[in-house]
Amino acid sequence: MKSQNGFFLILLVLLLAALMRIGNAGHNSTWSDEGWNRWVVTDTPVETIFSRLAANHHPPAYFMGLALWKNIAGDNRLSLRFLAIAVGMLSVALLYRIGADQFGHRAGLFSALLFAVFEQSVYYGQAVRHYGWLVLGVCLMLLLFLRTLKNPRNALLIAYALSIAFAMYTMYLAVFIWAVQVIAGIVFWRRSPRDKLRLFRAWVGVGLLLLPWFIYALPEQWHKVQAGIIKGYPNSFETTPASLLMMSDLLLGGQFVIGAALIGLALWKIARQRLLTQIVIAVCGVGLFLLLSVLNLFVGLLSERTLFFLLPSILLLLGYGFQQLQPRLQGLLAGAMLVWMLFTPQGIIPRINSDGVARAIALAYNPGDFVLLETGFDDVAFEYELLLTLPPENRQVFRSYYEYDYPDDAAMMNRLNSLLETQQRVWLVYWNVPARMANHLLSLGFTAIQQTEIPIGENDPLYPTYPTIEITLFARPDLTGETHSFGDLFELKDRLVTETIPRGDNLQVDLWWSPLKQVDRDYSVGVFLLDDQGVTRLQHIGPDATQPTTTWNINQLYFDRHTLPIPA
C-alpha cells in the first residue's frame, strides 16, 4: 500500500511538472538565445551547423537533436520547445530516483517536487535552449555513477560512460561534474584496483568519444575561454558578497533562509554518515558552487543560466534536509514552498516583446513590404516572430547584424543597398544598438511616415538605455511614372497598392500628393475598391488628420495612407 501511495505521488509531481512546462510554452515570445539556436539549425547542412557552433562555444548534441526534431515536428514555438519540455520531465523522474536511492523516498519526492515548480527549471524547461539537456545529462551522470560505486557492472559502466559523453556533447560545464566523479572514483572509492581500472577505462572511452569534436572545434573555441565565456552578458554575475547572496537565493528558489537551513541539516547528516555517494552529491552542489565562484574571479563563468546545472545536486540536498524534519513540519513546509513557487515567480532572462513588435507591424503591413531589423544579436529573435505573424506572400525580413550571414559589415551593407533599390516601403525595427539605419534610409530618399514605440517587456530594468523598441515605417515615392492631376489643385505623383492581400488583412493604399497651388480649405481623399463588374466593395474617405491640405506647400511631397479592411 505504501509503495502504491509513493507511485501515485510521483505521478502527481510529474503531472504538475508537465502543466508547469507546457503552459504558455506556445505563447511566450522568443528571446535572444532561442532565436540564435533556431538560426543555427534552420535551412542549413550539417557541416554549416558544425561550423557555426565551432565559431561559438557550444557542442553539437542539442543542436543536432533540434535540427532533426524541427524537420519532423515543425517550426512553431511549442514544437521547438518540446525537446526541453520532454527532458525536463525525465529530469524530474531521475531526481526522484537519485534522491530515493541515496536519501530515502521523501527526500527524492521533495527534490522532484521542487524541480517541477522551480522558476529556473520551468523557464529552461520550456526554452529552445540546451540547458535542460545539460541537466538531464547531469542527472544521468549522478544516477549511474552512484550506482556504479555500489556495483560496478559492465552494463552500468557503459551506460555511465555514455551519460558523460551525452552531457559533454551538450555543454562543456558537465566537465565539473565529471571532475568530481573522477576524484571520488580514483582517490576515495574503496574498491579493488581492478574495479578502479574498469572505471578508468570507461573514462578513457568517453575521451575517445569526445576526441573528434575537440579536434574539430576546440582551436576556434579557445578564444572564448580566454575572453571570459559569459562575462558581461545580461544576468552574468561577478564574485562579490552581494552576487554570492543573489546566486544562492536563485538556486534556493528565493527562500535563502529556509534553503540554507535545509542544506545545513543535509550537510550535517552527510558529515556524520560519511557515505561516499552522499558526499559526491554534496560536492557536486555546494562544493562546485564555491569552486566556480572562485574561478569566476579569473574567467567569466557564472550567470543564472550556467548555475542551472548545479540545481539537481542542490535540490537533492534540500530534499535530504527536508527528510530530517518532523512529518507534520514536512507537510507544512512542502505546501508553503509549493505555494511560494507557484505564485511568486523569480524572473530569469528577460523575454523581449518581439511578438508584440510583430503584431504591431502586421496591423499596417502589406505583402511586399520590406522589414529591416536593427536589433543587433536579437535580430534572429525578432525575425522568427515576424515569420510567425506576417503573411508568407512576398515576405522580406532582413537582418542587419552582419555576423550571422556576412564576413563583415561592408558586405552586409552592399547586400542591403542592392535590395533597397527596388523598395518603396520599409519597416525599421530598432533596439539596443547604436542607431544608423534610419539616417541611411533617409539618405536613400525614404521619408519616415509613422513611428510606434513598444515597451521592451519583462525585466526592462536590464536595458535602461533602450526601454522601448522603435518601429518606423519609411516610404519612398517613384517619381518616374505617370502622374494624375486633380483639377488645378493637386497632382498625384505616385501610388502604391499591393495586388494580393490575404482575406482578413488590411489593404494599405499609399498616395503621394503635391499641391499645384496653395489651397484655403481642407480636402478629403476617397479611395474605392471595385470588383470585376465595377461595383464598389470597399471605400475609405477622409482627410489626412496629421497634415490638413491647408498646411501643404506648393510643389512639396505629402504622404497619404488609406486603410481598407478586407473581409475574412
50's grid cell: 558544425
Tell me phi and psi for residue 498, to 5 degrees.
Answer: -75, 135
> What pLDDT, on the 0 to 100 scale, is given for residue 341?
81
Q: Which run of H or E residues covers position 472?
A: strand 468-475
CB 84, CB 132: distance < 8 Å: yes
Q: Rg of the chain over CA atoms, in angstroms?
A: 30
Place of cell 511578438: 355
The domain spans of the chain are 46-343, 354-475, 484-565
Q: Where are the alpha helices (DSSP H) in 154-192?
A: 154-170, 174-183
- In Å, how far are 136, 404, 529 from 95, measured between CA atoms? 9, 38, 64
CB 198, CB 152: distance < 8 Å: yes
CB atoms within 10 A of CB 50: 17
> What pLDDT, on the 0 to 100 scale, is given for residue 1?
39
CB 230, CB 300: distance < 8 Å: yes
Half-sphere exposure of 223 (CA within 13 A, CB side): 5
DSSP string for 440-504: HHHHTT-EEEEEEEEE-BTTGGG-TT--EEEEEEEE---TTS--EEETTTEEEEEEEE-S---TT
Q: What would the 3-class secondary structure string for 59-75 be?
A: CCHHHHHHHHHHHHHCC
255's grid cell: 527562500
CB 109, CB 99: distance < 8 Å: yes
**CA–CA separation, 260 and 245 (whole Å):** 11
Cα 420 versus chain centre, distance: 30
> What pLDDT, on the 0 to 100 scale, is given for residue 504?
85
CB 35, CB 380: distance < 8 Å: yes
- In Å, how far are 154, 179, 226, 299, 525 from 230, measured between CA atoms? 39, 21, 11, 9, 56
**CA–CA separation, 76 and 74 (whole Å):** 6
Q: Which residues pair with 496 in a beta bridge?
A: 510
> What pLDDT, on the 0 to 100 scale, is given for residue 217?
87
- In Å, how far are 106, 279, 281, 314 from 274, measured between CA atoms? 21, 7, 12, 18
Where do the DSSP E strands lie in 262-323?
A: none
464's grid cell: 535602461
- In Å, how far are 1, 105, 316 from 263, measured between CA atoms? 31, 17, 9
CB 497, CB 512: distance < 8 Å: no
> What pLDDT, on the 0 to 100 scale, is given for residue 462?
57
Q: Which residues pair with 2 in a beta bridge?
A: none
**CA–CA separation, 317 and 263 (whole Å):** 6
Side by side, which strands form the sheet with 506-515? 484-486, 490-497, 506-515, 558-565
Q: Which amino acid is it at 244?
A: L
pTM: 0.89
> What pLDDT, on the 0 to 100 scale, is given for residue 2?
54
Per run of 10 residues, the mean pLDDT along the chain (length 568 residues) is 72 94 88 92 90 88 96 93 96 97 95 94 93 98 97 96 98 97 96 95 97 87 59 71 91 90 96 96 98 89 90 97 91 86 70 92 92 96 95 93 92 97 96 95 95 79 77 94 90 88 87 92 91 90 81 91 88
Angle (deg, nearest 10), helices 2-22 and 105-117: 10
Place of cell 489643385: 489
**Bridge pairing between strands 370-374 and 396-399:** parallel
**CA–CA separation, 385 and 357 (whole Å):** 8
> What pLDDT, on the 0 to 100 scale, is given for residue 233?
58
Among left, alpha and beta (phi > 0; psi -120 to 50; other), residue 563 is: beta
Q: Where are the alpha helices (DSSP H) in 369-436?
A: 379-389, 409-420
